[in-house]
Structure 1
Amino acid sequence: MKVNQAEIVISAVSKAQYPGDQFPEIALAGRSNVGKSSFINRMIQRKNLARTSSKPGKTQTLNFYMINESFFFVDVPGYGYAKVSKKEREAWGRMVEEYFKTRDTLKATVLLIDFRHPPTEDDLIMYDFLKHFELPVVVIATKLDKINKTKRQKHLKVIEEALEIEPEDVIIPFSAETGEGKEQAWNKLKEFL
């Protein structure tokens, strides 16, 4: 997909702030530091629309990015970052749950998982949570460029088995560095738009 236009429209913390227009939405979920911002920037061919940070836990709002004036990427706060107070984590949890439960323009969720490691307990909980709400999930296995080509199949199998991935969902290995996996990701996401 060629992206000609991309801009952040709003950073929301509650339903009252979500955009009112009825464009389809693709949510992006993943633990802190998994590479959500890098994924967004690579997908839209922009360097810094989504701010990347070496400090995990930076995204604390639902960030709505309008793409080609036809759909939204919605960046959801990362999970699993320990240096956040329990109270803050609970607030994030409520905010994220409200979004996933109530948003009828949400068409699919991209769940980003670090390809280098088996999915964390939080990754497994998130996948189950999304399946509970009967949401289609596209698993993007980030940091593909860090894995030797001969070991990639093994890493893929570990993720598939750990998540107990459902037949309608896919795992796409992806590198924000090289762009590998970008075409496959767009081809899959277009099915929901």
Structure 2
Amino acid sequence: MRRGTHRDRHSWKPRGPDARDRHPRRGARARGAGPRRGRACRRSRAPHRHARSGRAARARPVRREIVRAQRDALLPERAGTRVLRFVGSFPRADVALDPPLPEVAFIGRSNVGKSSLLNALVGRRIAKTSGTPGKTRMLNVFLIGGSHYFLDLPGYGYARAGKAQRAAFRGLLKHALLRQRLRGVVWLLDIRHPPSTDDRAMQEVLVEGETHVLAALTKGDKLSTGQRRTRERELREELELPEDQVVVTSTRTGDGIAELKEAIEGLVRGVA
């Protein structure tokens, strides 16, 4: 009997009506013996710091009227800054702007530095810069100095753009170049690279539309002085543009920004 009793006590198959409840492993889990080895422990239920102090973290409410007023208000004039206002983003380029004023469009390949150049021209961060190409997909309009508009067109040549996105861009570009008050286009090109197939296609569109063009060669700080002069001459010859229609710029050093401003003002006045 002792031997049998010893077997019953240590057997993996306990006997009796409540044998299921007396399984050693199942019973251990049912009694809450703790987590198994290798499992993460429970998260501490200790109150957070702001809860212990009796002050719950709350977001400060912001009145919509204040946000709207800040968005629509004209920025103050100061050295290096031009009075401007963001008009809006539009999926179509045939939108009527009020008041009707001269317009200058900005266009270039994706990630050519268009947003950075716009910010440098007005001395404010009006366009979002991003390392991800193809971020701008709508027509962004800015009122500059109460005298003319900047039209920020989406970048072209983004390899991952789908058919629908490319078709939308072609329609946007077509209507933008047909706008009655468009005085010209600032065409951005990376000075380090020769014109791509997409650049050549854009050149044909601009020539067919008889559009006044200012070629802004971006990222001039990436080259030495001698290299910049050589690349400027080569690009002028390849694009068949006169010297006064090509400006080498750098948003990092500020080179060429003042010269490009003067050229744009000439477009607005109809001098170019």
Q: Assess if the C-alpha contact under 8 Å between 1:3 and 1:67 holds in 2.
A: no
**2:9 maps to what in 1?**
none
Instruction: State which drifts further: 92-101 or 54-63.
Output: 92-101
**1:59 maps to what in 2?**
136
**1:77 maps to what in 2?**
154
Query: How many angstroms apart in 1 are the aligned matches of 2:170 and 2:94?
Result: 17
Instruction: State which drifts further: 22-31 or 124-133.
Output: 124-133
Residue correspondence of structure 1 range 96-135 to structure 2 within 5 A:
96-101=173-178, 103-135=179-211
Shift of 1:170: 1.0
Residue correspondence of structure 1 range 33-182 to structure 2 within 5 A:
33-46=111-124, 48-101=125-178, 103-165=179-241, 167=242, 170-182=245-257
Distance 1:104 1:3, change over 3 A: farther
What TM-score do you get using the length of structure 2 for normalisation? 0.66
Identity of aligned residues (%): 36
Q: Deviations over 1:14-53 (max 9, x none)?
A: 245342421111100100000111001001111x210011
Query: How many angstroms apart in 1 are the aligned matches of 2:119 and 2:188?
Result: 14
Shift of 1:77: 0.6
Q: Deviations over 1:88-110 (max 9, x none)?
A: 11111112112212x01100100
Q: Deviations over 1:122-163 (max 9, x none)?
A: 112212211211111000000001011121121112211221
Which protein, 1 or 2, shows the higher relative CO under an 8 Å CA cutoff with sep ≥ 6?
A: 1
1:14 counterpart = 2:89: no
For the pair shown, the structure with the greater C-alpha radius of gyration is 2
Q: Assess if the C-alpha contact under 8 Å between 1:111 and 1:127 holds in 2.
A: no
| 3-state SS, counterpart of residue 126 of structure 1 | helix
Query: How many angstroms apart in 1 are the aligned matches of 2:255 and 2:201?
Result: 27
| 3-state SS, counterpart of residue 99 of structure 2 | coil
The count of residues paired between Structure 1 and Structure 2 equals: 190
| 3-state SS, counterpart of residue 192 of structure 1 | helix
Distance 1:191 1:148, change over 3 A: same
Query: How many angstroms apart in 2 are the aligned matches of 1:4 and 1:99?
Result: 24
Q: Which residue identity does 1:74 align to in structure 2? A: L
Q: Assess if the C-alpha contact under 8 Å between 1:136 and 1:168 holds in 2.
A: no
Distance 1:23 1:154, change over 3 A: same
What TM-score do you get using the length of structure 1 for normalisation? 0.92
**1:188 maps to what in 2?**
263
**2:101 maps to what in 1?**
23
Query: How many angstroms apart in 2 are the aligned matches of 1:54 and 1:180?
Result: 22
CA RMSD, Structure 1 to Structure 2 (Å): 1.7
Instruction: State which drifts further: 1-10 or 80-89.
Output: 1-10
5+ residue gaps, structure 1, are none
Shift of 1:169: 6.0
Query: How many angstroms apart in 2 are the aligned matches of 1:145 and 1:92?
Result: 30
Instruction: State which drifts further: 153-162 or 174-183.
Output: 153-162
5+ residue gaps, structure 2, are 1-78
4+ long deviations beyond 4 Å: none
Distance 1:182 1:91, change over 3 A: same
Q: Which residue identity does 1:115 align to in structure 2? A: I
